DNA sequence: GTCTATATCGGGATAGAC
DNA sequence: GTCTATCCCGATATAGAC
């Protein structure tokens, strides 16, 4: 466990992360991961005993990346519209920094929902608090009446979908112009924030 | 090409559709598809020469299912808010009738974007017309100013994501209560329609 | 058209040298 | 720790009987 070993181990994890995120568990090949890491196939088994264990390590790391400052924002006391705005900006930032993560998580969660969702629960995200704040704001008349869960999913939808569905949307609405779509994504936080707040403003 | 052959061929396609949609191209096994269809593995190769060709047939059928009344709505002359409302209801209906389609299409399109997107182009969906109507409505002051493409993707996001991300969201926000989530999805068209129109109403 | 049996191949996993 | 060589299984695909 000297630094060389640590480096190789991390190198493998990063390479595996890229391949798994692009191709999924069943689509990824161990040979491909080894090539991506610039090492031999056998070394994968030396560090991680099996493809399944390697995948689980990658998935855990992916969950960690997706969770980061989000908890802090959700748990901070702040006026509702400010909190929504900050959440959307923070979340879009994470997604843009990890564009393959959403599809990866969603797809693998469909493949093996129970086992993989447990990895999420460890992160300790708790939606009840923000749902409660939605209800309080409605009672105070600060926002229109809307089911808190629908509002929560609306926000997530507007952030996640354009990133996850990029191969589809870029071709469909942008003539497959990658730069144009990137610019579109970069202005997305502004647009979503305004859109949501307009929708719920009393 | 008597009716018996036709039945077996369709039976295979339906079975393959279910398995491919759930597990994806690389995750699906020919044996599993044969079992699902209640026939022998070799028959798959008799009707469709290879796994790849079978997959392509399934994908084409999936595209057809996802497109149906949508073109008509988009191309019909109608006041903007009415058209949005009808589109959202129609689209949510299709999604609820084919809940595995969205993830399937999105995932496979990431795997092989160019080849598979061509299957979409054949359907002849043309977004420019609805984008143009958005712009006209803005100029007439019928709706707030918003980038037409952002608006289009907002609508799609709000419809597709809750269906595609069901395994995640049902566990995350509904304690994995399937009936509750189904009820949530059933009221979704109303909520989305109201949400969008509130967001863009001048 | 539908089946059984089998060929062929790719990929995950292991053994063992260094 | 890292490599080469190899095992072994599963999965696609084919041959051929009925």
Whether the CB-CB separation of B149 and B131 falls below 8 Å is answered with: yes
Helix axes A101-111, B3-27, angle to 10 degrees: 120
- Record: fold of A3-58: Arc Repressor Mutant, subunit A (1.10.10)
Which residue in B has a C-alpha nearest to residue A169's C-alpha? B153
Q: State yes or no: pLDDT of B60 exceeds 80.
A: yes
The reported pLDDT for the residue numbered A74 is: 84
- Domain B3-59 CATH (choose: 3.40.50.150, 1.10.10.60, 3.40.640.10, 1.10.3720.10): 1.10.10.60
Question: Where is average pLDDT lowest: A174-183, B73-82, B157-166, B177-186?
Answer: B73-82
For chain A, which residues make up each domain, given as ranges? 3-58, 67-200
DSSP symbols for A95-145: HHHSTTHHHHHHHHHHHSHHHHHHHHHHHT--THHHHHHHHHHHHTTSS--
> Which of A27, A146, A167 faces B109 most closely, judged by CB atoms?
A167
Spatial distance from the CA of B64 to the C1' of C3 (Å): 33
The reported pLDDT for the residue numbered A4 is: 59
A4 Cβ contact partners less than 8 Å away, ≥ 6 residues apart: none
Residue B186: its chain A contacts at CB < 8 A?
Answer: none
CA distance A147 to A130: 12
| B4 confidence band (pLDDT: 50, 70, 90) | low
| Geometric angle at alpha carbon B189, from B165 and A85, rounded to 5° | 65
Asked if A200's CB is within 8 angstroms of B111's CB, the reply is no
Statement: the CB of B40 is under 7 Å from strand D: no
What's this model's pTM, rounded to 2 decimal places?
0.96
Average pLDDT over residues B47-54: 98
Average pLDDT over residues B21-46: 98
The reported pLDDT for the residue numbered A124 is: 82
The reported pLDDT for the residue numbered A65 is: 85
The reported pLDDT for the residue numbered A3 is: 53
The reported pLDDT for the residue numbered B1 is: 45
The reported pLDDT for the residue numbered B3 is: 54
- Mean pLDDT for back-to-back runs of 10 residues, chain A (202 residues): 71 98 98 98 98 98 86 87 96 96 97 95 88 96 97 98 98 97 98 98 95
Residue of higher predicted confidence among A64 and B155: B155
What superfamily does domain B67-200 belong to in CATH?
Answer: Tetracycline Repressor, domain 2 (1.10.357.10)
């Amino acid at each position: 466990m000297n630094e060389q070993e640590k480096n190789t181990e991390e190198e493998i994890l990063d390479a595996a992360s890229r391949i798994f995120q692009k191709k999924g568990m069943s689509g990824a090949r161990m040979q491909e991961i080894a090539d991506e890491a610039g090492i031999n196939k056998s070394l994968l088994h030396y560090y991680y005993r099996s493809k399944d264990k390697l995948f689980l390590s990658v998935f855990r790391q992916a969950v960690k990346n997706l969770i980061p400052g989000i908890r802090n924002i959700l748990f901070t006391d702040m006026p509702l519209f400010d909190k929504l705005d900050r959440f959307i900006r923070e979340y879009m930032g994470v997604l843009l920094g990890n564009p393959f993560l959403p599809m990866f998580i969603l797809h693998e969660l469909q493949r093996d929902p129970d086992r993989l969702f447990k990895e999420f629960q460890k992160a300790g995200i708790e939606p009840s608090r923000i749902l409660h704040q939605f209800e309080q704001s409605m009672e105070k008349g600060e926002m229109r009446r809307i089911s808190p869960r629908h509002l929560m999913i609306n926000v997530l939808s507007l952030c996640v979908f354009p990133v996850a569905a990029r191969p589809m949307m870029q071709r469909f609405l942008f003539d497959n112009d990658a730069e144009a779509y990137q610019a579109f994504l970069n202005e997305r936080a502004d647009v979503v924030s305004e859109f949501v707040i307009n929708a719920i403003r009393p």
